[in-house]
Structure 1
Amino acid sequence: MTQLLWNGLFVGSFYALVALGYTMVYGIIRLLNFAHGDLYMLGAFVGFGVLSVAGGLATGLGFVALLIVMVIAMLVTGTAGLVLERVAYRPLRGAPRLSVLITAVGASFALEYGMRLAAGPNPEVYPVRLAGDPVNLLGARITVQQASLILIAILLMAGLQWLVMGTETGRAMRAISQDPTAALYMGINVDAVIARTFFIGSALAGAAGVMAGGYYGKIDFLMGFIIGLKAFTAAVIGGIGNIKGAMLGGLALGLLESFGTAWVGGQWRDVFAFGFLIVFLTLRPTGILGERVTERV
């Protein structure tokens, strides 16, 4: 039981980091950015490229190299999120929802198959792996590297919570989520705040991509598709548009997968998780921390 709980929390921390990007963007401009999972993939490949260039130096530094590469990947994926918002989404901000949704799907395919052309279709092995001798803690086998990754994820999520609730930028984000027109009349630069939101959410996805590459050891150009769906599922379970809900939903989905694997087998893991989503939303459509709101016009 302890091992299942640990495995669920570990995987759920990845889902939570990616889900935060979904929920931030949706909370502010009501956009489902289906290209967000592919920014996670982009972060993993940026980390792979930097580590490959560094060669033996990166191998010698080990975990420290991954931390440095994570920062670089966050900057690159954050910038990619800015470009995506400026080129694909901002011109369609007043367009029908279906047009924006189709554009998001198109942006996802562009990132996936652009990376396929750039890096090739075959999976790549990460140059630096997080491996270590496990220790037994209350019946669970835990490595220092796993604990470090969870700690990094917690720090990133706590930093985001502080940014949203305790800074001027966060207040502007919350104001725009309530009423963008009124926020504009109050002197808030709406375009700049939305761009920052895309940067922050995309940077978190890039960090999760490097963490996943270093831990699992294999990446490919389609790796963002399934985690994008699962992160979206986590955001919906938690209450999409709610920061704390995205964190809670990611952890809940990770635990569901862990226990589902033990109960019904690994091949049924995704069926178990998405089946739970259907049942859960039937009983509570707004998610764990979501609230019923009036549709903005």
Structure 2
Amino acid sequence: MAIKQAKSDKIFDICNKILVWFFIVVISYPLVYIISASISDPQYVNSGEMWLFPKGLTFEGFERVFQSSEIWLGYRNTIFYTLLGTFINLAVTLPMAYALSRSDLVGRKFIMLALVFTMFFEGGLIPTYLLVRDLGMINTVWAMVLPSAAAMWNIIVTMTFFKVSIPKGLEEAAEIDGASQIRTFFQIVIPLSAPIIAVMALFYGVGHWNQYFGALIYLQDRELYPLQLFLREILVQQQLTTELMQQSGSAEALSEHARIADIIKYAVMIVSAAPLLIVYPFLQRFFIKGVMIGSLKE
């Protein structure tokens, strides 16, 4: 038999549902609008006639974006940087977090203090550039993945997961059976850490996918440019061309170019965000569990 809810509980549930639906609408509307705007005639978008669903259906923006061979080159490079960079991030973050989660680590407090210090103070852009240059990484793949090999906040989150979610009894049993700490880490801890691995892979992956500033500073060879840098060039070129045409005074040509610039702008947003939107649902169940780290303790 179902338990009868009190009136106050029913009101609380109704208010929660209203709030949830409100936030769903607020979060979903910009995404739906951008998708619709990317396949709508800019005339309807700029006039405000298109406010939710596509109007004046056209795929010209995507056609113009994908006509550039550099877009595909950028996709290839960005996928490579994201996969390699995320692998390096996990290879650094997971062992470091596990070591710091163990209370028997010699010098643990000093190491934590030194690492946390980097969250508040950093060398800055010029010293970082000089370091990357002196290491011979300028205009190489490594300039895109090694300077961001680990983030201290992610290490702390992962360390908290190991403390809260990995039973100490399993580690003690493995030690009694003669397993080394390295074997314990790879054969016991890692298989039980799928949620935090998925969360960290998503965090780091998004960072690598959206990165363009590092490429702007460290890369000169266009063959190494990531997708975001090519997309930025497309937007900047469209803006500069529009400004030049405004000075020339050709109203008809200016109107047509402004239309093209508007439709390309929304297509570029979809092109850059689509892969992450596709990947996220597959990691969602791990992500939800991972972000709840530390909310419950035994």
TM-score by length of 2: 0.28
Instruction: Compare relative contact order (CA 8 Å, sep 6+) and give the higher one, 1 or 2.
Output: 1
TM-score by length of 1: 0.29
Structure (1 or 2) with the larger CA radius of gyration: 2
